[in-house]
Structure 1
Amino acid sequence: MLDGDCAERTQHSLLWPFLLRHGSSAMAYSSLQPGATQFIHPQLGYLAYIPVRHPLYAPRGMNVVIGDPIAARADFAPLLDAYLAATRVLTVFLDIGSAFADVLSARGYPVNEFGVNSEIDLAGFDLELRGKQYAHLRRWRNKARSEGVEVHEGRLSEQGGEELDELNREWLARKGGHDLAGLTRPLVLEDEEGVRYFWARKHGRLLALAVFDPLYRDGRVIGYLHNASRAIKDAPNGTNDAIVLHAMGQFKAEGKELLTLGLSPLALKKGEVYPHNAWVAWAFDFIYRRCAFIYPCQGNFFHKQKYCGRQEASFVAGVPTLRLYHLLGILKALRAL
């Protein structure tokens, strides 16, 4: 039997070849997050899920698959079939793209729109922020500059541990005491392979941190996901945007293709395009409009829109008998409850 360290190395050796070849989707690196389990097919690839068991929300257990399979698109269907043959647990597929949604819909799964992912073509992005479409970004960036905010890149291990711990504690205290999971990869307080970290300071004082996860295609990094941010309560307005814009300039200079700002949950702009659950569509619309205490969906979407990126539809697929308590189980898996 493998000990913990050996098992982790073995798992790493199985996952990374697929991630390096096929990890270009926004959720790809999140497939490695703490708390996730991976179903691995040694020839096809893998998919990641968060197992949930709760006496009310998931009394028989439920797997919440996060993102697309880490595999070639041509292998989505056989990988799904292999997973379904290996488990009898009810499964919901969350934040998936249209290619995987096509496969699931063809298998009879209701597929609902779940939001949009915002992607920015770095080569075409105007870092000078000229034009009225960038008016909000200009104002936020200029505010941070006028307040003396300075941005630099550096590994976690290069920063003061006490400073980082205090930043993390203060931020989490204002966000319910813990990170979300699943759709947002929890912050790991140690250097991670391929992940980049940008910091904002004012007169040497740490104000904020932004974490960027790599996107891979055919063994090379093609861009990054802005995965996580931390900022102190009294950081000047525009600090987080100053970090993102600085990082975009760095990535663009390196010839990277894109930056994705990730999912705007429940920002439903394209309309339902698959056979779907009508009550789930109603519930998503209600949560988006009325439940900012669960997650500030409208504010999240408003802010990401100001970067003028392209919006790629995201979907959720579940069994036809999906019920309200299953939806609550999903929220439990994401640590929103």
Structure 2
Amino acid sequence: MTTVNREVDRGEVVAALRESADNPSAFLALNAGNAYFSDPSVKGVVAYREAGRYLMQFGGVFASEADRERLLRAFLAFARTARRKVVAVQLQRSDAELYDRCGFTVNQVGSSYALRLPDHTLRGTKFMKLRNKISKARRAGLEVTEVPYDRAADELVDIDREWLRSKGRHVKEIEFLVGELGGSVQEHRRLLLGRLEGRAIGYISYSPVYGSRPGWLHDLSRRRATAPPGVMEAINLHALETFRDEKAEWLHFGFTPFVGLSADHEVPGASGPTTRFMRFMAERGEKVYPSASQLAYKEKWGPDLVLPEYLAFHGRASLPAVWQMLRVTKSV
């Protein structure tokens, strides 16, 4: 089977996500630097990036249930024509089963977390520390507002620069699996900014989530090194309350690699060496990716839902392919 890749614009990708995406992080498919595959005979898109001899595909196939396998097989034919191997990341459980049927080796790579908004409350002793941190930030004079990106761009760049500098000289900004600001789809995102004494001190960007658990994704967040404790929690609570008032159903905290790993989540045929590598990263990989701190932030909100997410290799699992994935995300 051969196929020709049809050029896809971002408006078409947004439409495909609205119609068929059930991945909480699907909007990240619109990140700058991604390419899109679409077959003329199938409605839907596949987001990917080239990395060496691999096509790194993100988030599954964004098409109707009836068309997903057909589009995936067309993408595999496209990859063969280009003499590339496909590696897919951040697949949901239903994706994992589809990819397994299509000749992939599939392993759990981490988990994502979500909060159901209509019933959420911070009352009770469970959230006492969180409430205290937020109260302390508010008493310090923190003001949180939703702002248009173009009116705050210079302040955000300044925060980003200070945030990156605080991480160390050799640290790079992670890409591909995290969100971004600006560009042609910025109008779909929400931006919450915190200020102390008029100075921007931290922000969180939220992306739309479609599908069976619609709402918002707690996406990109940054703060100054000098920001007092509780700033980010206070910003997120302001957003949470806003979204709940708007009748949004879910607040998603997104994907964290190397956490929530369980043999119960693996699909048949999972790679033993890849499973051991993921467990090694869970225990000792904090220098590569700050999974423990991300997980601690997400768990403090008392998530209602934990979803396993998967990494898939067309054919046999490959540690060189894992290395290329880490390079694409700038984790190394």
Separation (CA, whole Å) in 2 of partners of 1:295 and 1:240: 20
Contact kept, 8 Å, 1:156 with 1:191, in 2: the verdict is no
Question: TM-score, normalised to structure 1's length?
Answer: 0.88
| Counterpart in the other structure of 2:321 | 326
Alpha-carbon offset, residue 136 of structure 1: 3.5
| Counterpart in the other structure of 2:224 | 232
Say yes or no: does 1:150 pair with 2:105.
no
- Within 5 Å, give how 1:103-114 maps onto structure 2: 103-114=98-109
Say yes or no: does 1:200 pair with 2:194.
yes
Contact kept, 8 Å, 1:109 with 1:318, in 2: the verdict is yes
RMSD: 2.2
| C-alpha spacing 1:122/1:130, structure 2 compared with 1 (3 Å) | same
Could you tell me which of 250, 253, 275 is aligned with 2:242? 250
Deviations 1:91-111 (A, max 9, x none): 111011011101111223221
Contact kept, 8 Å, 1:156 with 1:190, in 2: the verdict is no
Separation (CA, whole Å) in 2 of partners of 1:315 and 1:87: 20
Alpha-carbon offset, residue 251 of structure 1: 0.5
* Local SS of the residue matching 1:293: coil
Say yes or no: does 1:25 pair with 2:23.
yes
1:154 partner amino acid? V
* Local SS of the residue matching 1:234: coil
Separation (CA, whole Å) in 1 of partners of 2:35 and 2:184: 21
Contact kept, 8 Å, 1:289 with 1:298, in 2: the verdict is no
* Local SS of the residue matching 1:124: coil
Separation (CA, whole Å) in 1 of partners of 2:141 and 2:87: 46
Say yes or no: does 1:214 pair with 2:208.
yes
Alpha-carbon offset, residue 115 of structure 1: 1.0
* Local SS of the residue matching 1:225: strand
- Within 5 Å, give how 1:1-337 maps onto structure 2: 11-42=9-40, 43-53=42-52, 61-88=53-80, 89-126=84-121, 129-159=122-152, 161-175=153-167, 176=170, 178-188=172-182, 192-217=186-211, 222-271=214-263, 272-274=265-267, 275-309=269-303, 310-337=305-332
Alpha-carbon offset, residue 39 of structure 1: 0.8
Deviations 1:246-284 (A, max 9, x none): 101000101111110001211034324312111111111
Contact kept, 8 Å, 2:115 with 2:251, in 1: the verdict is yes
Identity %: 26
1:152 partner amino acid? T
* Local SS of the residue matching 2:69: helix
1:34 partner amino acid? A
* Local SS of the residue matching 2:221: strand
Contact kept, 8 Å, 1:19 with 1:70, in 2: the verdict is yes
Deviations 1:106-130 (A, max 9, x none): 223221111111011111111xx11
Separation (CA, whole Å) in 1 of partners of 2:31 and 2:154: 24
Separation (CA, whole Å) in 2 of partners of 1:125 and 1:100: 29
| C-alpha spacing 1:87/1:319, structure 2 compared with 1 (3 Å) | closer
Alpha-carbon offset, residue 158 of structure 1: 2.1
Separation (CA, whole Å) in 2 of partners of 1:116 and 1:86: 30
Separation (CA, whole Å) in 1 of partners of 2:158 and 2:188: 25
| Counterpart in the other structure of 2:3 | none
Question: TM-score, normalised to structure 2's length?
Answer: 0.89
Deviations 1:170-218 (A, max 9, x none): 1122345542112112333787121110000111111101100112359
* Local SS of the residue matching 2:103: coil
Contact kept, 8 Å, 1:27 with 1:68, in 2: the verdict is no
In structure 2, runs of 5+ residues without a counterpart are 1-5
* Number of equivalent positions: 318
In structure 1, runs of 5+ residues without a counterpart are 1-6, 54-60
* Local SS of the residue matching 2:141: coil
